[in-house]
A = this chain, B = another copy of it.
Amino acid sequence: MSVLVVGSIAFDSVETPFGRAENVLGGSATFFAAAASHFAPVQVVGVVGKDFPMEQLAPLAARGVDLAGIEHADGESFRWRGRYRHDLNAAETLETRLGVFSHFRPKIPPQFRSAPFVFLGNIDPRLQLDVLQQVEKPRFVACDTMNFWIESRRDDLLALLPHVDALTVNDSEARQLTEEVNLVRAARWIMARGPRHVVIKKGEHGAFMFTPENIFFAPAYPLEEVFDPTGAGDSFAGGFIGYLARSGDLSDENMKRAVVCGSAMGSFAVESFSIGRVLEIGMRDIWERVDAFHRLVGFEREMIG
């Protein structure tokens, strides 16, 4: 089953304690598509400028990602420049040039409108809602957002929530949106407004998935080298929704496995700049990492007592 993603395609310039990269491929749709492409066919809707060399996306096309929804607009491509210091959980934005992204109006090609799985990357919630009006009854819609939209488009975001099955946010965004410090209460607040699943990502501290009946937690994989955290959250979403599309199973038990696949893809994303590592790995690497997660948290209760 295919996955439709709408989001940004960008040039990132990133400085970390371990090196720097200039104008490498980034953006929420890019990381999402790279990660999800291991699990299911992916369709991308986004915008790039006249300066964008489409051969940059050839590795995604080679993985079967359908790029027919990428619009070429007059102007510059979206560029982001950021820095991470030793606290790899906190990106410092040095420069954002929205370019053609500032006038992005997603147009879903007819052949993408029946995608059963939809990921609304971090864009204006009014555009996210507009995307949902263009698609036909998807089975599962997940949505990301960020502090900027929570502040500036709060009412639009709240209007979007009833149409969303899963909201994926980081912990500070969850707190900002709900005005609840406690994440259990924050998740309950969000679930009361629509989404049946709330995924709260805590970066190097792992991710929670809340449903009305369950709480599930997956740690971030303890890597010795976290090279560049950029894109970890979107790669997580790609693994999460990609796995759901592959399995077609939306039971709570299977959603847990999806969270682990998301964590695995996030852990690969941070091993290199851009999508290099996410594209380089194969299914064997992914299942090995899923097994490593199982060993990391697994324990037998039987001896206790």
Q: Which residues of A contact B (CB under 8 A)?
A: 17, 86, 181-185, 202, 205-206, 208, 214-219, 222-226, 243, 247, 249, 253-254, 256-257, 259-261, 287, 290-291, 294-301, 303-305
Contact = CB atoms under 8 A, between A and B. Distances in A.
A185 B257 contact: no
A181 B214 contact: no
Given A182-B226, A222-B184, A304-B257, A216 B86 contact: no
Nearest to A260: B299
Residue from A17, A259, A301, A304 whose CB has the most chain B CB atoms within 10 Å: A304
A299 B256 contact: yes
Contact of A296 (B216, B291, B303, B305): B216
Given A215-B222, A217-B297, A256-B299, A304 B184 contact: no
Given A205-B205, A219-B217, A222-B208, A303 B249 contact: yes
Given A182-B224, A257-B304, 10 more contacts: A17-B181, A215-B222, A218-B297, A243-B304, A260-B299, A261-B304, A287-B305, A290-B301, A294-B299, A294-B301
Given A86-B181, A214-B295, A303 B254 contact: yes
Contacts of A206: 205-206, 219
Residue from A218, A297, A298 whose CB has the most chain B CB atoms within 10 Å: A297
B183 A222 contact: yes
A184 B247 CA distance: 33
A63 to B, nearest CB: 19
Nearest to A291: B301
Nearest to A294: B301
